[in-house]
Amino acid sequence: MRTEPLDPDVAGARRTRTGRRAPASAPGPQTRDDKSSPITRVSRSFAFVDLCGFTDFVDLHGDDAAVAELRILRAGVREAAGAAGVRVDKWLGDGVMLVGVEPEPLVTAVIALQGYHEARGRLPLRGGLATGAVILLDGDDYVGRAVNLAARLCERAESDQILAAADDALALPPGIRATPATSFHVKGFVRPVAVVALAPITSTAG
């Protein structure tokens, strides 16, 4: 049995029974853009916050207690972020990623969240903050050093500790102090990163 040619150029060159050339078929949908989307660079502040010891807590106290703790965290995040005017970018299981246009409101939100959860929750929080220029990818995701640094600082923070990259971009709101910590060798970063610990001025820590 004779089969039809599959190549569109060959198929388009067929002639009909009347001897006329068959009309060329319309081009199919493009599988990818011919030109890359324009890159948008923005300056943003990022914070990652999570619960310390959450896995052990779940194993010891069970799923219901874990869900209750997460609900306290999320209620605190919504209240603190809303009051400070920063955005909840994404939930990360027992943590959250926050984004602000300026560092001051973001610091305010993280410190307020820490106080909220300390008064209501059973687990301590830790957090990491960084500010810098990043790429806004597809309008809803961020790629750049500041995002990675904030996440790594959260991982390095101890219980009840909020770490921030100590650079010119860091600006603190009234009532918050920055205590020099050290220069960390942060995973994924070639050079040591100068870091400070953030806390309310009324705190007895430090």
pLDDT truncated to tens, each residue of the chain (206 aa)? 444 444 444 344 444 444 454 444 444 444 444 455 678 888 999 999 999 999 999 999 999 999 999 999 999 999 999 999 999 999 998 999 999 999 999 999 999 999 999 999 999 999 999 999 999 887 778 899 999 999 999 999 999 999 999 887 788 888 999 998 777 777 777 788 889 999 998 744 44
Q: What pLDDT, on the 0 to 100 scale, is given for residue 83?
A: 95
Question: With 0-12 CB in 10 A as exposed, 13-18 as middle and 19+ as buried, what is 81?
Answer: buried
Query: Comparing C-alpha atoms, which of 175, 163, 159 is closest to residue 48?
Result: 163
Name residues whose C-beta falls within 8 Å of residue 163's C-beta, 6 or more positions apart in sequence: 127, 128, 129, 153, 154, 156, 157, 181, 195, 196, 197, 198
Query: Comparing C-alpha atoms, which of 199, 190, 131 is closest to residue 165?
Result: 131
Q: What pLDDT, on the 0 to 100 scale, is given for residue 17?
A: 42
H/E stretch holding 154: helix 145-156
Q: What pLDDT, on the 0 to 100 scale, is given for residue 192?
A: 82
Q: What pLDDT, on the 0 to 100 scale, is given for residue 187?
A: 77
Q: What pLDDT, on the 0 to 100 scale, is given for residue 47?
A: 97
Q: What pLDDT, on the 0 to 100 scale, is given for residue 18?
A: 44
pTM of the model: 0.76
